[in-house]
Structure 1
Amino acid sequence: MMNYIFLQEAAPGMMNNQLIMFALVILVMYVFFFRPQMKRQKEERKFQQEGLQKGMRVVTTSGIHGKILEVQDNILIIESENSRLKIDRAAVSKEQSASYLPDEKKDKKAKKEEKEDEK
């Protein structure tokens, strides 16, 4: 009885349907997972090579926030909380300059007000 079940032949169109479904699954995975990840990596590499400039606020891949003080060939010197760090260009993950600007202006205003209050 078991030999009979294992020796049955698949329906003629069944194999084609399975191949089509398998190909569709691979296509969906490529479109929704692999392609966006490759695009993000390409943009990050371009930013690391061409987009880094003195004065930018950046975040490293390890999560350190800082301001670029000096740009050399493959090395950046960043300032983070009154300390200077020498890092590789590849360690920069993204720019944070836009998110810091309003805070810096608020900090400057607060410092000016404190100085005026002291006088």
Structure 2
Amino acid sequence: MEQITQFLPFILMFVVIYFFMIRPQQKKIKQEKEFEAALKVGDKIITKSGLHGKVSELAETTVVIETMSGKLKMERSAISLELTAALNKKA
């Protein structure tokens, strides 16, 4: 019984770390993958570097976005926000 009480603080720390750090990070990764899979041609997006554009072509791992200065090919993971749904919610 004494051995269990010695390890109880470590067990509690692991539980706290799991629920406050590991679990939310896993949830965020899952949401990002769902977001990447739900992209479609015509969506207005913002990349993680702050570039605004519209999706013009989709491939398995890449996306071509159309900006005011031309077209750029980027990885799907570089997209951080989809504006089309956000703009439709406000309207």
Query: Across the two proteins, how many residue pairs are aligned to each other?
Result: 91
Which structure has the highest strand share of the two? 2
Q: Is the 8 A contact 1:76 1:86 kept in 2?
A: yes
Query: How far apart, in 1, do the equivalents of 2:35 and 2:23 lie?
Result: 18
Partner of 1:39: 27
Moved more, 50-59 or 88-97: 88-97
The residue correspondences of 1:4-83 to structure 2 (distance < 5 A) are 13=2, 15-48=3-36, 50-83=37-70
Question: Structure 1: which 4+ aligned runs deviate by more than 3 Å?
Answer: 99-103
Query: How far apart, in 2, do the equivalents of 1:24 and 1:91 lie?
Result: 37
Q: Bigger relative contact order, structure 1 or 2, given CA contacts below 8 A and separation 6+?
A: 2
TM-score (norm 2): 0.78
How far off its partner does 1:83 sit?
2.6
**Unaligned segments of structure 1, at least 5 residues:** 1-11, 106-119
Structure possessing the higher radius of gyration over alpha carbons: 1
Amino acid at match of 1:68: V
Percent of pairs with identical residues? 34
Query: How far apart, in 2, do the equivalents of 1:54 and 1:99 lie?
Result: 16
Query: How far apart, in 2, do the equivalents of 1:102 and 1:51 lie?
Result: 17
How far off its partner does 1:79 sit?
1.8
Q: CA RMSD in A?
A: 2.5
Kindly indicate whether residue 73 of structure 2 is the aligned counterpart of residue 95 of structure 1.
no
Which structure has the highest helix share of the two? 1
**Unaligned segments of structure 2, at least 5 residues:** none
How far off its partner does 1:101 sit?
4.7
